[in-house]
Structure formats: structure tokens, C-alpha cells
Chains A and B, each alone.
Chain A
Amino acid sequence: MSILLNNISKNFGKFAALYDVSLEIPEGELVALLGPSGCGKTTLLRIIAGLETPDFGRVLLSGEDKTEQHVSRRGIGFVFQHYALFRHMTVFDNIAFGLRVKPRKERPTEAFISKKVHSLLELVQLDWLADRFPDQLSGGQRQRIALARALAVEPSVLLLDEPFGALDASVRKDLRQWLRNLHQELHVTSIFVTHDQEEAMEVASQVVVLNQGRIEQQGAPADIYDHPANAFVSKFIGQTNVFDLSETESNWLQRAGILAEKPQGIFAHVRPHHIDIVKAEETSGSPVTLKDWQHLGATIRVELFNPQHNGSGATLFAEMPNERFKQLNLNKGDRVAVHIKQAHWFN
């Protein structure tokens, strides 16, 4: 089911949670709503679900206006951040809930419900937990049961609020992969909320970046990373070095290779892997001091200090493969020169 949001606004008292948000999500996508805390992403998700009503704007599912429709009739599946499993029911009864509360005419037989619940438990690979209660499960297991419960009513849209937020790092990694695979299997239009850009890039086919109640950019993960629409997106997605033209000597930037022509803005944003280091003897490049470095697995993050910079951005980060760094054979405190291969300009 496709989702269309038209000019959604929502205020909580004097706080504007969402301001004139319009968004189109085609059928079958797995979309991440990404943004810092308080940006309105959860509010937007709850408005799509019908758990919150917008002050202005319309919510259209499959082209039908559902703005006034009650949450129980929208045919959505919602997975809560803290799972919200019914604590007095077994895992089986939790998953069966959505089928058992259907009006008598539509309610399937107990035999059908039992079959359906067990097939869902197999789908989330937890068939052996049917008789347990929620407080006997681990966080990751609860999350998967919550997902199975939401899927039981065969929703046309699946909404997940910070699905991995309360889990520890290793479980989170596994579940991300698992959710991606599950989506490829089921193809139900899904939206999940996250504040973790890595998670959004890894799981989603489309990323929507939100900030202060507005959409900053929407696109495929690679698009957003390579072509950030503005300074906020550039800083929020991945690491970025920011050069302020008023604070950095233009001479230094020229020698680094990004001020060849006229400046296209006031701020130059440079990804760490777009900074290359050469030994100081070589004539071109801008001079910096090597402060420290950290191993990030396959790559090395190098911390550089720019003595000709006055202001907060005197420290730069560069990233390069391990091999390359070893070849350079550098020590802390060495004078090196930097080449900047690519920059994004913003005002």
C-alpha cells in the first residue's frame, strides 16, 4: 500500500512537532525516518498509524483519505519501541490477539488461528517460545514476537518505532539484517523510525531525513550520502569535516586543492575519506600536524591538527585503508600535507 502525506502539521501546546510535511512512499519500500531526537519522526509515524491526529494535512493510504479513520480500522501493523507485549498473555495469545478480537463474522476458527500463529512463530524463528510469558524473553525475542503479533492481522503497512533502540549492539546488528531479509520476503510497505544513521543506511531502501519538524531530504541511502541537500544532512549522515571560509586561510584551502575556482559557498564539507595525506617533503598540499590515529577495522582514522586555522574546526579527520597508512610510515607529531579530493559547498 502506498502512503501519501499532504502538508501535515502537528503542535503539542506551543511546540511545533511537525511543520507542513509532505511525503510520498511507493508501495513495497522499506523506509527509514531518520533524525535527531525531538525532530518529529515518531510523531509522524504515529500520525500515519492513527495514534495521533494531525492539526492540518491529510493521510492517504493507497490513495484513500484515512485522516479521520480510527487506528483500529486502518489496517496497519505497529511495533512499539518497548515492544508493548501484553504482559498477562503467553506469546501464543499475544500473536493470536489481533485475530481473536475481530468481529464475529470475520473471526477465523481457533484451528486456523493456531496454524497462523505457529507459522508466524516459525517466520520469526521462535516457535519454541509459544507458551512463555513476555517477561521470560530477552529483548531481541520480545522485539520479534512484537513483530509477529503485528504481522498476524496481515497489515498493508508495517510501522516500527525505533525497533532496535532498546537492544544491545550485537543483537541489533543481527536483527537489522533479519528485518531486511524479512522485508524482501514479505514486501509489505514498511516504515521504521531511527536516530542511528548507520542503521538507516544499512536497512532502508529509502531514507527520509527529518530535522525540527521538517523533511530535509528524501532519497536512496547512497544518494543522500553522496549528494546531501544541505549542511544539516551532510553533517548528520556520516562524518564530515567543516571548513568555514571566514576562519580558514584561503591560501591553505587553495593548496589543499578545493579552492581552485571561485568558492561556491561559505562552508566546505569534506568526508574523511576524501582527504588524502602525503609526506611533507612533497611540494603540493596544505601543511598539518599528525595528532593521533584510531583503528576502525579495515580503515584508519587519522586525527590532524591545522595550525593555520583559527577557530573551533582546527582538528580534521581523514580516513584511509590500513595498507596506505602503513606505507606512509608516520609518527605522532609529524608534519604532513593534505589533499582534498572532493567537497560539498553550503551557505
Chain B
Amino acid sequence: MHANVHVIGDATGQANFKALHDPFWVRWGLVGVAVGFIVLFLCVPLGLVLYQAFSKGWQAYWTALAQPDAIAAMQLTLVVALITVPLNTVFGIAAAWAITRFEFWGKSLLTTLIDLPFSVSPVISGLIFVLMFGAQGWFGEWFSAHDIKVIFAVPGIVLATIFITFPFVARELIPLMQEMGNEEEEAALSLGASGWKTFFKVTLPNIKWALLYGVLLCNARAMGEFGAVSVVSGHIRGVTNTLPLHVEVSYNDYDVIGAFSSASILAGLAIVTLVLKSFLEWKQARV
């Protein structure tokens, strides 16, 4: 009897094992397709960027990057990110807090609106800002009367970037804060902590990895955004060109080394972002 039970157990075990696994050729076929795609569409272009950037050697690469226009583009990109990312971090936390902690009329509409920048084409977003702040725009007259330049100037680029990168932080925080609930915060308040202390000692430590993840994605997009910024910037060399715009302008001028050396900086940024992103994902999974 005992032996019998064992035999039956083994037999069903094997049957299950086979039933749960696809044939060899299906498994390796799928893996092959996936890897082939990644190589063809991600690795080859990335390699090509680096190959083109260094096609005339290190010297040419550094010379291209040291051009005043390239340096100005990098500086502008950094300035835009330095303004946009902190602002959207604060906005994102505020929006996530409002949505997950309070009940109010129009809450689901707000939740939908946060995703708006993802669903609107960046070019349209840029055009909206031109329509609002451009010389013929709604507020254009008022701004030109006060001698404030928004469109074809840095403020316009910052505004467009803020709009485009708004969802990243909020979208990371909302599901996490919904899942955590607010009991820990209520506990902190009942123990006599003020609102600020509760936020810094209880809420922030609990959301910090998701927050950093959102900030990272927000930063990557802020530095890499092309469409919306392209519409509002006016492509003034050394003044309103961000790094992605500088790549385009150089390429159009047949300055291959200039275009690809700047592109390699953006590619490097993407790789750093990917590494940090994996680290943060690993960290979040452990919390």
C-alpha cells in the first residue's frame, strides 16, 4: 500500500511537470525573438551612437563637446532639470497625499488629469504653451508689456518640461500610499507628533524608495524631453538649445561628430538611469 502511494505520487508529479512546461523549441524560440529584438533595436543603435561619436578619435570627440554651443546646451539642460525635478517632486507628493489621504469632490477627475501629459502628444503640449504665452497668445500681450519673455526663452522650456514630467512622481507614490493606508500616520499624531514631524519621520521614510524612483524617472525625462521643448524653444544656439535640441541642430548641420558626441552624453545618462532604476527596484522589493 505504502509503495503504491509513492508510485502514484511520482507519476502525477511527472505529469504535472510536463504539463506545466512548454516544449523546448517554444521556450528557446521566444527567448531568441526577445533577445533578437533587444539587440536589433536597442543595442545596435546605442553602439552606433558611440561608434559615430568616436569615429574620428578621442580628440574630435572632446573638441565637439567643448564647443561653446554644446557646453551651453548641457548647462541649460542641467538648469531645466534642477528647476523642474524639485518642483515636480513637491507637486507629486502633494498630489499623491491629496488623492490618497482625503475625500473630495472631483478626486477621480484629478487622478485622471495627472496622467494627461502621458496621453497628450508632447508637440501639442508645446503648442498649448505657445498659444498661451506666445506673442499672439492669451497672456502674450501682458507678458510683452512687462518685458517678460516666456516663449523662445528659458521660462517656456521650464514650463513645458514641468508639464511633461508632472506624472512621474505622483504615479509612483499613489499606489504605494494607497496600499499603506494612513494608520501609521494616525498613530504618530496620536502620540503627539505634529503634522510636519509625522511627514518627515513616518511618511517620508516609508515612501522614500518609491519617491527616489519617481524622481529618477522624472529627471531622465526632464533631461531627454524633445518634442514639447522643441516647439517652445526657438532653437537659438547657445541660448535656448537643450542637449536633445543641440543633437538635432548639429545633425541638420552635417556635424556628425557634434551630434553623436552630445547623443552619447544622453545615452550615458540613460544607462546611469537604468542602473539606478534597477537598484531602486531591488531596494523597494526588500522594504
| B135 nearest CB across to chain A (Å) | 50
**Which of B184, B190, B197 is in CB contact (< 8 Å) with A86?**
B184
Pick the contact of A72 from B183, B184, B192, B287 — CB < 8 Å? B192
Which residues of B have CB within 8 Å of A146?
A: 187
B186 and A86: CB pair below 8 A? no
Known contacts being A86-B202, A101-B197, is A73 close to B192, with CB within 8 Å? yes
Cα–Cα, bound, A146→B186 (Å): 13
Complex Cα distance, B191 from A98, in Å, reads: 5
Binary B-proximity of A53-85 (CB < 8 A = 1, otherwise 0):
000000000000000001111001110101011
Q: Does B201 contact A (CB under 8 A)?
A: yes
Q: Inside 8 A of A182's CB, which chain B residues have their CB?
A: none
A98 to B197, CA, bound (A): 11
* Cβ-based interface call for A88 (8 A): yes
A262 within 8 A of B: no
Q: Which residues 172-193 of B sit at the A interface, judged by CB distance below 8 A?
A: 183-184, 186-193
The verdict on A71 contacting B201 (CB below 8 Å), with A80-B183, A84-B183 known, is: no
- Taking CB atoms, residues of chain A closer than 8 Å to B189 are 51, 70-72
A72-B192, A73-B192, A101-B191 known; A78 vs B186 contact (CB < 8 Å): yes
Question: Do the beta carbons of B206 and A51 come within 8 Å of each other?
Answer: no
Known: A87-B206, A88-B205, A101-B197. A153 touches B191 (CB 8 A): yes
Chain A residues, Cβ within 8 Å of B59: none
The answer to whether A86 and B188 have CB atoms under 8 Å apart is yes
Bound-state Cα–Cα, A49 to B191, Å: 11
Contacts of B136 in A (CB 8 A): none
* A87-B206, A88-B206, A101-B197 given; A82·B192 CB < 8 A: no
Q: Say whether B108 faces chain A, with CB atoms less than 8 Å apart.
A: no
B209 to chain A, nearest CB (A): 11
Q: How many residues of B sit at the interface, in one of the four size bands?
A: 10 to 19
Please report the total number of A residues contacting B with Cβ < 8 Å.
Answer: 25
Task: Say whether A97 faces chain B, with CB atoms less than 8 Å apart.
Answer: yes
Cβ–Cβ < 8 Å partners of B205 in chain A: 88
A165 to chain B: closest CB distance in Å? 14
What is the CB-to-nearest-CB distance from A106 to chain B, in angstroms, rounded to a whole number? Answer: 9
Which residues of B lie under 8 Å from residue A102 when comparing CB positions? 192
Q: Could you tell me if A101 and B186 are in contact, using CB atoms closer than 8 angstroms?
A: no
Chain B residues positioned under 8 Å from A82 (CB to CB):
183
A80-B183, A86-B187 known; A72+B193 contact, CB < 8 A? yes
How long is the Cα–Cα vector from A70 to B191 in the complex, in angstroms?
11
* Among A77, A80, A149, contact of B186 (Cβ-Cβ < 8 Å): A80
Whether A150 contacts B183 in the complex (CB less than 8 A), given A87-B206, A88-B205, A101-B197, comes out as no
Beyond the given pairs A86-B187, A88-B287, 17 more chain A to chain B contacts, judged by CB atoms under 8 angstroms and listed by A's residue number, are: A51-B190, A70-B189, A71-B186, A72-B189, A72-B194, A73-B192, A76-B190, A78-B186, A80-B186, A84-B184, A86-B188, A101-B188, A101-B191, A101-B193, A101-B197, A149-B187, A153-B191
Residues on A lying within 8 angstroms of B by beta carbon are 49, 51, 70-73, 76-78, 80, 82, 84-88, 97-98, 101-102, 146, 149-150, 152-153
Could you pull out 25 A-B pairs where Cβ atoms are within 8 angstroms? A49-B190, A51-B189, A51-B190, A71-B186, A71-B190, A72-B189, A72-B192, A72-B194, A77-B190, A78-B186, A78-B190, A80-B186, A82-B183, A84-B184, A84-B187, A86-B184, A87-B184, A88-B205, A88-B287, A97-B193, A97-B201, A101-B191, A102-B192, A146-B187, A152-B191
